[in-house]
Structure 1
Amino acid sequence: MRNIISYRKSLLFALLTLLPFAQASAANEATGYAVLGGTLLFAVLFVVMVLHMGYVLFKGKSYKQEFTADYFREKRRLKIETLTAAKEKAEQDAQDPKNAGKEQPVIVIPETDPTDEEVEQCYALLEEAFDCWTVISGAGEEELRTPTKMKQIRKSKKALDKVIDLCPYEETVINRLNELCHIINVSEERSFNGSKMLIWISVIVGVVGAFLSKSWEFPTFLASGLVLYWVASRTPQFLIEKRAERGGGNIFSGLIGGAFAAVATAKTYKTVTKWSDGTTTTDYDNSETWISIVIAVVICVVLACLLYFWAMLNYLRNYVFYF
C-alpha cells in the first residue's frame, strides 16, 4: 500500500514538473502560428499592393483619344445596331412559351441623330463635371477650376462617360468634352515624387553592405525595396500640386541632409598645453565629428532598411487615400 502511495506521489510530482514545460510548448506553438499568420497576411497584402500599382500604371490615361463627330457617329451607329439586335432577340424570347410570365427587359433604341434633349443633357453633364472641381482663380477673375481631390476626378469621369455614351455631334460639346478629358488626363498623370536622396543613400548602403558581407542577399533586399519604393512614389499630378501648395517638404531629404549638415558643422577642439620647461603640446578633440558621423550612418542605414515600410506608406498616400 505504501508503495502505491509513493508511486502516486512520484507520478504527481512528475506531472507538476512537466506542466510548465507543456504550457511553454503550447505558448510557443501558439506564437509560431501567430507569426506564420502575420507573415502570410503581410505577403497577401504585399501581393495585392504590387498588383494594384501595376494595374494603375499599366492602365495609363483614362481617355486615350481625342473625340470627334465622326467617332461619335460610328459609335452611335454600332450602338443602334447592337440594341436593335438585342431587342429583336428579346421579342423572340418573349414569344417562347418557356418564358411566359417572365419580365422582359425594356430596350430603348436611340435616334440616328442626337435629340435636343440629349444635347441639353450633354451640356448639363459637362457643367456638372466642371462644377465639382476646386476654384483656383481669384475674386473678380475668370472662373478657373481644377481637380484637387480624387473624389472630384471620379465624379467628373462619371459625368464625362455619360456624355461619351450619349454620342453628341455638336462641335461645341465635343470641344468642351475633349478639354475636360485632357485636364483629367493631366491631373492623373503620375511622376516620381519621392526622395531621390533616400534612393542614393540606399544604393550606397547596399553597395557597402555587399562589400562587407560578401553576399548579395542584403543588396537584393534593398534593390527590390528600391523598385517598390520608386513605383509607390509615383504620384498623380493633382496631388503633387496640392502638396506643393501645402508647403510640405520631403522628410527623408530633411533627415539625411540634417545628419550630414551636423557632420559638416561639427567642431574640432584644439588644446595647447604649455609646460614649465617652455615646451608646448597640442591635442585635437574630434569626438563631436565622430559622433555626428556615427549618427548620420545609423540614420542612413535605418532609413534604407525600412524601404518596404516607406513604400507601403507611399502606396497608401498615392494609390489609396490620396493625401
Structure 2
Amino acid sequence: MKKPSITFNLNGLQFAFLLLLLVFTTFSVSSATASTSAATNSTALGIAQQAEDSIAASPEIASETTTKAEGKPFWQTLKETLIALFFLTFFVGASIYMYLELKRVYFVPITLAQVLEERKTRNMTDDSTDEQDANTNHFLESVFNDWSVISAAGEEELRAPRKRIHVQNACRKLEEAKNHLSTDPILIERINELGEVLNHNAKRRYTGSNKLLIVAGLITAFFILIMGNETFGDYVRNFLNMWFIWGAAIFYFFASYAPQFLIEKREKRFGNANITSGIIGFFAAMFFSAPAYDTVTHWSDGSKTKETNINWIALIIMIFALIIIGTMIFVFGMLNFIRNFVLYA
C-alpha cells in the first residue's frame, strides 16, 4: 500500500505573511517569557528581603508590608483607573457629539405666512422696506459667492458648499437673511433654495465598512466563548470585559458618517473604494484563492480514495490577520472621527 502524499502549495505572498507571523509570535512569546521570568525573580527577591526584615519588625509592620507587596501600588492602580476613565469618557462624549451632529438640521425652510406672523409679533408693517430687502439680498449673495463652483466651464454657474467653513458661514448668514423678515416672495424662495442646497450637501451618510463591523463582532463572540463561562452572569461579565472592541465598533459606526460634499470629493478622487473593506477582502481572498491539495490513497486491493484538503496555512494567516484588524477598529474609528467630524474640509 502506498503511503498518502501530502503537499502544501505555498506561494511567495503567503510565505512572506507566514514568516512575518512566525517572527511576531516568537517575539511575543519570548517577551512574555522574559517578563514572567523577571517578575518571578523580582518577586522571589522581594519575599526574601521581606522575610529578613520581618525578623526585626513588629507583627503589625510585617503584615502591612506583606499586604502592600501582594497588591498593586496605590499610584499604579490610580493611574490605570484614570486612563480607563479617560478613554471611557472620550468614547461616550464623542459618541454623543456625533449622534447630535447626525440629528442636526442646518436650515429650516420659511414661508411668507411665517414671515408676516413674525413681523406682526415685532409690531412691524406687513411689507418689508427696501433696506430690509437689500440686506436680505446681501447675505444671500454672500452665501452663494462663498461656495465653490461645481458646474463645468461654459455652463450655468452652480455653486455648493465644499468645506466645513462653507457650511458654518452659510448657516449663520442664512439665519441673518431670515431675521430681516423680507416679504419679497423672490427673496424668500431664494432663501429656501440656498437652504435646501446646504441641507443636501451637509447631510451625513454612512461610509464605513460593514465587513469591519462583522469582523469585530465575530472576534468579540470568539473571545467570550473561549473564556470561562459557567453561568449567564459569566457571559455578561466577559462581554463587558470586551468593551474595548464592541465599544470601539459603536464608536467606529458613528465616526463613519461623513457629510455629502466630503463623500463626493472622495469619490471623485478615489472612487467608491473602502480601505478597510479592501484589506479584509484581500486576506479573505488569500485563503479562498489558495489552491487546495488532494490526498490520494492507494489501497492493497487496488482501489484508491481521494480526499481534498484546504490550505491550512492560508487559513491561519487569514484568521490572525482578521483578529489584528478587528482589534484595531478603534484606530480606524479615530481616523474616521478626525476626518469626518474634526478636520473635514
TM-score normalised to structure 1 length: 0.71
Q: Give yes or no for the alignment of 1:296 onto 2:318.
A: yes
The one of 110, 118, 121 equivalent to 2:135 is: 121
Q: In structure 2, what is the equivalent of residue 63 of structure 1? A: 107
Q: Does 1:152 align with 2:166?
A: yes
Contact 1:210/1:216, CA 8 A, preserved across alignment = no
Q: CA deviation at 1:133?
A: 1.1
Q: Deviation string for 1:108-155 (max 9, x for gaps)?
A: xx6653211221121121111011111111111111111111111111
- 1:240 maps to which residue? 263
How far apart are residue 230 of structure 1 and its match? 1.6
Q: Tell me if the contact between 2:208 and 2:274 (Cα under 8 Å) persists in the aligned partners.
A: yes
Aligned counterpart for 1:181 among listed residues 195, 203, 221: 195
Cα distance change of structure 1 residues 321 and 193 upon mapping to structure 2, 3 Å threshold:
same
On the 8 A contact 1:194/1:250 being kept in 2, the answer is yes
RMSD of equivalent CA atoms: 3.5
- 1:177: Cα distance to partner? 0.5
Would you say the 8 A contact 2:182–2:188 is kept in 1?
yes
- Identify the match of residue 332 of structure 2 among 306, 310, 315: 310
- For the structure 1 residues 218 and 261, does the alpha-carbon distance in structure 2 shift closer, same or farther, using more than 3 Å as the test? farther
Could you tell me which of 234, 239, 251 is aligned with 2:275?
251
Q: For residue 255 of structure 2, what is the amino acid of its counterpart? A: A
Distance 2:329 2:164 in 1: 26
Q: Partners of 1:42 and 1:226 in 2: how far apart?
A: 14
Instruction: Identify unmatched segments of 5+ residues in structure 1.
Output: 1-13, 15-20, 81-109, 273-278
Q: CA deviation at 1:31?
A: 4.9
Question: What's the counterpart of residue 115 of structure 2?
Answer: 72
Equivalent position SS for 2:258: strand
1:92 equivalent in structure 2: none
**Aligned letter for 2:317?**
I
Q: Would the alpha carbon gap of residues 47 and 186 (structure 1) be closer, same or farther in structure 2, given more than 3 Å must change?
A: same
Equivalent positions of 1:127-206 (< 5 A) are 127-206=141-220
* Bigger Rg, structure 1 or 2: 1
Contact (CA 8 Å) 1:195, 1:253: kept in 2 or not? yes
Q: Structure 1 residue 204: deviation in Å?
A: 2.7
State the secondary structure of the residue aligned to 2:325: helix
Higher relative contact order (CA 8 A, sep 6+): 2
Give the secondary structure class of the aligned counterpart of 2:215: helix
Cα distance in 2 for partners of 1:257, 1:217 equals 32
Report deviation, 1:172.
Answer: 0.8
Normalized against structure 2, the TM-score is what?
Answer: 0.66
User: Gaps (5+ residues) in structure 2?
Assistant: 1-52, 54-64, 230-234, 297-301
Contact 1:61 1:188 in 2 (8 A): no
- Cα shift readout 1:243-272 (whole Å, capped 9, x = no counterpart): 111216311111111101111232456799
Relative to structure 1, the CA distance from residue 246 to residue 297 in structure 2 (aligned partners, 3 Å threshold; closer, same or farther) is same
What residue number does 1:45 align with? 90
Report if the CA contact (8 A) 1:233-1:318 is conserved.
Answer: yes
Distance 2:173 2:138 in 1: 9
Distance 1:258-1:219 versus aligned 2 partners, 3 A rule: farther
Using the aligned pairs only, state the percent identity: 29
CA drift of 1:34 comes to 4.0
Partner of residue 212, structure 1: 226
- The question of whether the paired residues in 1 share the 8 Å contact of 2:128 and 2:184 is answered with no
